Amino acid sequence: MDNLNYLFAAYTIIWAVIFGYVFFMHQRHRRLQRELDLLKEDVDEQKMD
Amino acid sequence: MGEKNIVRSNILLGLGFALMTAALYLVFIFAPTEEAMGQIQRIFYFHVSMAWVAFLAFFVVFICSILYLWKRAIKWDTIARFSAELGIVFTTLVLITGPIWAKPVWGVWWIWEPRLTATLVLWLIYIAYLLVRSYAAEASRGARFAAVLGIVGFIDVPIVYLSIHLWRTHHPPALVSDLVPSMLLPLLVSVAAFTVLYIILITRSISLSNLEAEVRQLKDARANQRRS
């Protein structure tokens, strides 16, 4: 009664979900960082005007 | 991020990586194969660890929700929100790995028995917790409603934990004292690894929310500049 396919499926899903969540966080971070840089440039330009 | 925070974050990452590597070694190589269930029992180590981390995450939501309602400081609401998100991720994994373990052992994916049903209810409560925020007209009102749900919803955590003692259930009892040392060690290291993973993810989430706040501030500053 080994059921290695079930064991493999369980651990694959665990790592897929954890990596998926970390990737989602990373994307969120990158998007915010890009938005922040653009805003900083915009605010600096307006100050110079 | 300050230099001190970067060092702290790198130490946590290193510790998490070492613990997770050790946990994988202990689960797949060190731990003996359980006689009745065979290899599939190795799901147990991560399944229980993720359930522990989910409980911890919801406990943090509970404490931070009380602090938010008491002090009205936004930082408590932020920690509660991200901790709920992480609790949902780990409960989802518990709800997925449980049936994968159950199918070869019980012959069915799912049984409507107390432990499984209470865990599903727990997952739904915290999904509602996040939905309340997104559907509220004002952010502060959403945070208040969510905090109340975060306090009341936590009642289900002890119900999930005690369900195997309170009712007759198919779920195996979680008696750590019954485990032989060669099974207890992989479990304890897995619990430690997932706890560190939770700390890493919650810390990253908080720095993400600081970034969000900075973006909001700059947007307001730009809007004010345009108005004047």
For the stretch B46-55, pLDDT in tens is 999 999 999 9
Q: What are the DSSP E strand ranges found in A1-49?
A: none
Write out the two tokens for B10.
């790198």
Query: Does position B30 have pLDDT exceeding 90, yes or no?
Result: yes
Q: What's the pLDDT score for residue B176?
A: 66
Cα–Cα distances in angstroms (integers) from residue B173 to residues B115, B133, B182, in the given order: 10, 36, 18
Query: Does position B99 have pLDDT exceeding 70, yes or no?
Result: yes
Distance, CA of B205 to CA of B73 (rounded, Å): 17
Cβ-based neighbour number of residue B13 at 10 Å: 12
**How confident is the model over B54-74, as a mean pLDDT?**
95
Contact A18 B218 (CB under 8 A): no
Query: Does position B57 have pLDDT exceeding 60, yes or no?
Result: yes
Closest Cα partner for B125 from B98, B148, B94? B148
Contacts for B13 with CB less than 8 Å, ≥ 6 apart: B200
Q: Residue A22: pLDDT band by 50, 70, 90 thresholds? A: very high
Report chain B's terminal Cα–Cα distance, integer Å. 33
Q: Looking at beta carbons, which residues of chain B come within 8 Å of A22? A: 201
Task: Count structural domains, chain B.
Answer: 1
**How confident is the model over B209-219, as a mean pLDDT?**
85
Average pLDDT, chain B: 90
Contact B46 A2 (CB under 8 A): no
pTM: 0.89
Q: Range of B62's domain?
A: 3-227
Mutate to test the interface with A, among B12, B43, B108, B190 (most CBs of A within 10 A): B43
Q: What is the pLDDT of residues B84-96, one digit of tens each?
A: 999 999 999 999 9
Query: Does position A1 have pLDDT exceeding 60, yes or no?
Result: no
Contact A25 B50 (CB under 8 A): no
Contact B197 A18 (CB under 8 A): yes
Hey, is the C-beta of A16 within 8 angstroms of any chain B C-beta? no
Indicate the residue of B38, B100, B225 with minimum beta-carbon distance to A2: B38
Give residue for tokens 């309170």: B166
Phi, psi of B34 (to 5 degrees): -70, 135
Question: Searching chain A, which residue's CA lies closest to the CA of residue B20?
Answer: A15
Contact B218 A10 (CB under 8 A): no
